[in-house]
Amino acid sequence: MSANILSFIIFLPAIVAFGLMITTKHVETVRNIAFLTTTIILALVLKIYIDFEPSAGMQFVTNVPWISSYGINYYIGVDGFSLTILMMIALLIPTAYLLLWEGRTKGYWINMLLVQTGVTGTLLALDVILFYFFWEVMLLPIFIMIGIYGFGDKIFTTIKVTIYTMAGSLLMFIAILYLGVAYHNEFGTWSFQYDSLTQITSLTYSERIWLFLAFLSAFAIKIPIFPLHTWIMETYKNAPTGAVFLLSSIMAKLGVYAIVRFLIPIFPEIYIEFSTWFVSIGLFGLVYFGIAALMQDDIKRMFAYSSASHLSFIAAGIFSLNAFGINGALYLIIAHAIATGALFLLVGLIHDETGYKTIKDLGGLAKGAPIFTTIFAIMLFANVGLPGTNGFVSELLIIFGIYEFNHTLGYISAITVVIGASYMLWMFQRAILQDREGEALKFRDLKIKEIVGLTPWVILVFVMGIYPDIFIDKFEPTVTHYLNDILQIGATK
């Protein structure tokens, strides 16, 4: 099992999904088996996490020919960076099921399983053709979920997000093929393994820039980075809760992951040269999206802008060229996934129970739902970086990293993070604490299974905030390897 454990983790959800598709129509059976499947995957990933030896290299590697005539391999593996995100995915998905437990259809659960195969395969793929395959696989079920189970103008939303993501994916695919041909022309054999592509020396400077930007377009759309963000607001507003959770907590993070996994080792000199631009764009996005969030009345749109603001901050950390910033960005990937994922699920519960999602129509929820309010507050404070939470540690590291990169940009980053606290606390006061004008809303408190689902998230908020080294030690050797061996700029810590 240890040799094929990653393959089992990738494909088990899809195998179960196709099996359920043709064997049963009973929604409860589909849901229960889907939940059991994700729980098994969590147990397997936990075993990998415990057995993993912190180092810069890949572990649990499988590398076998797939389309051998063109050097395309089924090449997967995990290092400290991907392991941390893998653990995040494995934990968040089954626990999220407990908050999506009722009122879903068979197709809803099947698409959730298919997305898990797509995101896990994307994370673990080390051949860029294989990566592209899983990148597309993870998107298709999301399109279906929005088109079938979404709200409002869901068809237009589906078309818009499809056009955006497919345009970026097409540019990335062209760049992948260009790199494969360049490798063949230089070495006489075909290969699409990312570590082989790092050996290409025949590309001109302008070719490397255009290839870098082609890859980055696909990743920037998925994150999203300004100005490739306009699809996210209507998508988050109109998509069903499960799809929003997957988009914000997991799939957006894979855009950041892909920058580190592929762009840094394949185009290190371009990454360094354009770092100031992308740190600046990231900080601009932090401010722009934060101000936009302050202007929203629809609570899902507000969280969409909030998510984009934090992801812009993560992108700024990734391009900061030092261990502080990159470690902080990787840590914020996990912290943001937990806090924002929980908030989107809780907002979905508000919408399901009350029928409202505009802040002006809400209010007074705290009186009848103290447990809901407490967990909502914890996740909100983690999201704004309150000391003692995981958000504080990660944002502080990024600020240090940006300050080391450029003192002026560091001061700007330290000042602008307070924007997030402004709109979050404003929303919490009006939508949750403040009494509602007119008739009080009927809103239940969390059920036992929902509390059970959110408890690991709450624990992680504080454990990651108080003992960050437990988690950073897993991926820090990978970050050091990137800075010392690939970028050759040292790993200041």
Separation CA 56–CA 474 (nearest Å): 10
First to last CA, the chain: 38
What pLDDT was estimated at residue 13?
94
What pLDDT was estimated at residue 212?
92
Separation CA 77–CA 110 (nearest Å): 26
What pLDDT was estimated at residue 161?
78
Helix 5-23 vs helix 27-51: angle between axes, to the nearest 10 degrees? 180
> What's this model's pTM, rounded to 2 decimal places?
0.89
Residue showing tokens 């970026």 = 168
What pLDDT was estimated at residue 391?
84
**Tokens, residue 61:** 């590697």
- Closest by CA to 285, choosing from 224, 345, 327, is 224
Cβ atoms of residues 440 and 364 within 8 Å: yes
DSSP one-letter string for 364-425 = -HHHH-HHHHHHHHHHHHHHHT-TTSHHHHHHHHHHHHHHHH-HHHHHHHHHHTHHHHHHHH
Phi, psi of 489 (to 5 degrees): -125, 5
Element (H, E) at 476: helix 469-481
The sign one gets for the Cα dihedral 198, 204, 207, 212 is: positive
What pLDDT was estimated at residue 490?
58
Q: Is 73 helix (H, G, I), strand (E, B) or coil?
A: strand
Q: Is 107 exposed, middle or buried (0-12, 13-18, 19+ CB in 10 A)?
A: middle
Let me know how long the chain is.
493
Cβ atoms of residues 58 and 126 within 8 Å: yes
Separation CA 461–CA 380 (nearest Å): 11
Helix 299-318 vs helix 323-354: angle between axes, to the nearest 10 degrees? 170
Which residue ranges make up each domain of the chain?
A: 274-493
Cβ atoms of residues 260 and 323 within 8 Å: no
What pLDDT was estimated at residue 1?
46
Q: Compute how many other C-beta atoms are within 10 angstroms of the C-beta atom of residue 351.
A: 17
Cβ atoms of residues 390 and 464 within 8 Å: yes
What pLDDT was estimated at residue 471?
83
**Tokens, residue 206:** 């302008």
Q: Which DSSP category does 472 fall into?
A: H
- Closest by CA to 397, choosing from 417, 378, 379, 421, is 417
- Which residues are within 8 A (CB) of 344 and not within 5 positions of it... i.e. 6 or more apart? 236, 241, 244, 245, 248, 249, 300, 303
CA distances from 247 to 67, 141, 151, 435, 472 (A): 31, 11, 16, 32, 24
Element (H, E) at 357: none
- Closest by CA to 476, choosing from 50, 27, 80, 77, is 80
CA distances from 51 to 12, 48, 470 (A): 21, 5, 14
- Which residues are within 8 A (CB) of 234 and not within 5 positions of it... i.e. 6 or more apart? 152, 153, 156, 157, 160
Separation CA 307–CA 383 (nearest Å): 9
The sign one gets for the Cα dihedral 242, 244, 245, 247 is: positive
Question: pLDDT tens digits for the chain (493 residues)?
Answer: 455 899 999 999 999 999 998 887 888 899 999 999 999 999 999 999 888 887 767 888 888 999 888 889 999 999 888 898 999 999 999 988 988 888 788 888 999 999 999 999 999 999 999 999 999 888 888 888 888 887 777 787 778 778 888 888 899 999 999 999 999 998 889 999 988 888 888 888 999 999 999 999 888 888 878 777 777 777 777 778 888 888 888 888 888 889 888 888 899 899 988 888 889 988 888 888 888 887 877 787 888 888 888 888 888 888 888 888 888 888 888 888 898 888 888 888 888 777 777 777 777 777 778 898 899 889 988 888 888 898 888 888 999 989 888 888 888 888 777 776 777 777 888 777 777 676 667 778 888 988 998 999 999 999 999 988 888 888 888 888 888 877 777 555 4
- Which residues are within 8 A (CB) of 403 and not within 5 positions of it... i.e. 6 or more apart? 409, 410, 411, 413, 414
What pLDDT was estimated at residue 17?
92
Cβ atoms of residues 52 and 78 within 8 Å: yes
Separation CA 463–CA 178 (nearest Å): 45
